[in-house]
Homo-oligomer: A and B are copies of this chain.
């Protein structure tokens, strides 16, 4: 067979970082939360449960059914929708235990290709660059991607979201990524829903790290709650790797919202048929750890506390970065840094400034300047803020991208 080599499998930024010989280089674009010591964060309660599980002689290690671990799915749905969710009571939401970080999307997209026959077009909207596009593309969908971050106004703009929904053709799929910072008014919500209903748009939500945005588990799924209350059909990728710190097990669920229980069972049966061919049985370890935590009130409390600590630390770091830039007299307003919730956020730098940081200062950040604030710590914050200051001064006047001080 004559098979060509695929280049650029790893993100090119990470590749460039790894190839850099500079001793004090730093990478601020990790997807997972980092500890002060620069290791991926793991909730302490996970370590405890992992040990308990390995010492439990009563556990069996049989194949899980294709659908996955039932108690894990149940506990995760309750986490997502709330214990007393009407949709759970009415048996019109369910899920299939999925594999890795893209398994839920792969499974959902395969289903949509087969059964969502109106239009094989998908619109992806999020506050960040998403990885789902190629999955849809490989399956024969036409993909359009939008970010709700406005780099001129330096804020998440609800109008971008509303405009995208307005222009979507009839019967398309709409992937709704992380848009928590995009505040909609009740009348905007209502308008959005009426457009989605009238155009038969199929929403596919992505909840990759519930609890790591506002540290409030319910607040982080508010948009999903609204959709489920309206009784429409949807899919949701619920990933539980990042918010527990079980990265290497890729624990997730493809959540299905249906109009009634009968439709739910039909959709789940089709998904199981697809999952049989994809992996047959999902892995157990991560699901077992998470279920043990979610089903035990004391452990659940510990986990919630650990999430809160991560988010609070990141928000404090944002405050510190803003304050240091203020003290340095860096031109521009930096309020947008603390206005964004969660561990990640846009610095609001233009392309030249980003290039300056990467090339001159060996600080690796993506082109759109969205960084992981948990990578900023007491050891590197001064170097980072001084470098940002330098980058802004260096490029000052050459491009008018930052608003003037009049915008507090």
Contact = CB atoms under 8 A, between A and B. Distances in A.
B106 A279 contact: yes
Contacts of A1: 115-116, 202, 233, 263, 267
B55 A250 contact: no
B102 A278 contact: yes
A12 interface: no
Contacts of A284: 248-249
Nearest to A288: B248
A39 B51 contact: no
A329 interface: no
A279 B62 contact: no
A3 interface: yes
Interface in A281-334: 281-286
A9 interface: yes
Contact of A279 (B5, B55, B100): B100
B285 A285 contact: yes
Interface stretch (A269-277, A345-353, A380-388): A269-277
**Closest 10 CB pairs between A and B?**
A100-B279, A248-B284, A54-B54, A6-B269, A101-B280, A283-B283, A102-B280, A285-B285, A3-B266, A63-B247
A269 B7 CA distance: 8
Interface string A2-38: 0111110100000000000000000000001000000
A129 interface: no
A140 interface: no
A33 to B, nearest CB: 12
Contacts of A3: 115, 263, 266-267, 270
Of A53, A54, A64, A116, chain B has the most CB atoms within 10 Å of the CB of A54
A9 B248 contact: no
Interface string A100-135: 111100100000000110000000000000010011
A284 B101 CA distance: 13
A234 B5 CA distance: 18
Contacts of A135: 277
